[in-house]
Chain A
Amino acid sequence: MATQPRPAAQPGRLLWRVGEVFEVVEETPTTKSLVLSVPGWEGHKAGQHVDVRLTAEDGYQVQRSYSIASAPEDERLAITVDRIEDGEVSPYLTEDLMAGDGLELRGPIGGYFVWERGLGGPLLLVAGGSGVVPLMAMLRHRAASGSGAPAKLLFSSRSQEEVIYRDELERLAEADEKLEVVHTLTRSQPEGWEGYARRIDEEMLREVAPSPSEEPLTFICGPTPLVEATAAALVELGHDPAGVKTERFGPTGG
């Protein structure tokens, strides 16, 4: 076996390349966006992800997937990373990495959990925590491309401080009467909070989601329990399962 000639590696679509960190933006106390300049980047679709690989000096490597946060129209690629306590990759990305550092990545990857302007709407986006990242790419693309598709984002966070992209979501919704952003804060609420203060459930979805007859394109991203509860409740409410796309967070070890 060892003496067999090896075929030359065929360079596929998924080549590793080194991007440069252009800027690090603090989104919440535990979440940062890494804005990257990636030479030769051919563009992406909203909802796709990249693989990020870290290499230590002795060759030790770890790899994780991160959703792309930026719109295809944006000048630079951005990912948003939530720091996981005891994680191996996310603490490095959120605390050690600085502007000017290189970051090895490959992508864009994925084609199923994707929304493009041409797919139309209405859009129903349901996010838990940093599950909002690929959905934010969709909302940014929707705004940048001038799509008039009606869109709703139902966004579950633990507290107001932990709402990722809070200001930008507010600005987007204020500027666009066809976009509605609904928050639920599951752990603590600011004084005078009148919004939802519980986990996403069927009743909340009945109030927020377009009716099944509108055939919304639905994208759900977040921790597995949130994704499964939301998808099950939507089907219970009469939505076509084929119109509901899900992206569960894995226990990646962070």
Chain B
Amino acid sequence: MVEGFISRGFRGRRRQPNNAQLPPGQYETKGFPVLSAGPTPHVPLSEWDFTLVGEIDEAKRWSWEEFQALPSEEITKDIHCVTKWSKFGTRWGGVSVDTLLGNVETSAAYVTAFCDGGYTTNLPLEDVTGGKAWVAYAYDGEPLEPAHGGPARLLVPHLYFWKSAKWVRGLSLLSHDEPGFWESLGYHNYGDPWREQRYQGD
């Protein structure tokens, strides 16, 4: 650390006038940056399924066709990445997690989303129910691109976007909380952008 060094004339493009739509520390982007911690999985739709496992009476499984036949919703939400970009008014299509959990009996209080490629992220059950989370397979009216998590990703827009796991394949319902890929390595366990919960201790 060189104390007090300032790069003459450098401002950085990430300046934003005060904007009530932006959580603290965020800037708006019009693009849609692709973030990934690994190679993009390419699972044929004929082999894709979505499962609910863990603390439920009976595990549930949907094939891609069965999943497409579930009632779908159009969702328009702002999204906020912990790397400080936010994108307003993103349009998604997919199935509400409420629909998936519809008649499942569970004593679980937490869920861990699991994905192709091995990524995981953990959330309180109450943050994926009550109209707050979806499994999205469409973006802007088109099938979700693999780079952005297609064929399907979790969408939990009220939390930092690393919780919206790409290439999601199912939810594990748990009675205890189990920190996921980034949550176990210093990132905040809950990740509320409005309270700027980026890292442990925030």
Contact = CB atoms under 8 A, between A and B. Distances in A.
Say which size band chain A's interface belongs to: 10 to 19
Given A16-B2, A17-B2, A18-B2, A103 B7 contact: yes
Contacts of A56: 6-7, 10-12
A104 B5 contact: yes
Contact of A102 (B5, B11, B14, B201): B5
Interface string B1-35: 11001111111111000000000000000000010
Given A16-B1, A60-B14, A55 B9 contact: no
A57 to B, nearest CB: 6
Interface string A119-160: 000000000000000000000000000000000000000000
A181 interface: no
B6 A55 contact: yes
B199 to A, nearest CB: 13
- Determine chain B's interface SS by DSSP, over half rule: loop
- Determine chain A's interface SS by DSSP, over half rule: mixed
Interface residues of B, number: 14
Nearest to B84: A60
Contacts of A1: 201
Contacts, number: 41
Contact of B8 (A16, A60, A102, A251): A102
Contact of A55 (B7, B13, B14, B201): B7
Contacts of A101: 7-8
Given A60-B12, A62-B12, A88-B13, A54 B2 contact: no
A203 interface: no
A41 interface: no
A207 interface: no
B1 A54 contact: no
Contacts of A57: 6
A92 B6 CA distance: 13
A85 interface: no
A251 B7 CA distance: 23
A96 interface: yes
A54 B14 CA distance: 13
7 contacts: A54-B7, A54-B12, A56-B10, A56-B11, A88-B14, A101-B8, A104-B2
Interface of A: 1, 16-18, 54-57, 60, 62, 88, 92, 96, 101-104, 251
* Across the A-B interface, the 5 shortest Cβ-Cβ residue pairs: A54-B7, A54-B10, A60-B12, A16-B2, A56-B12
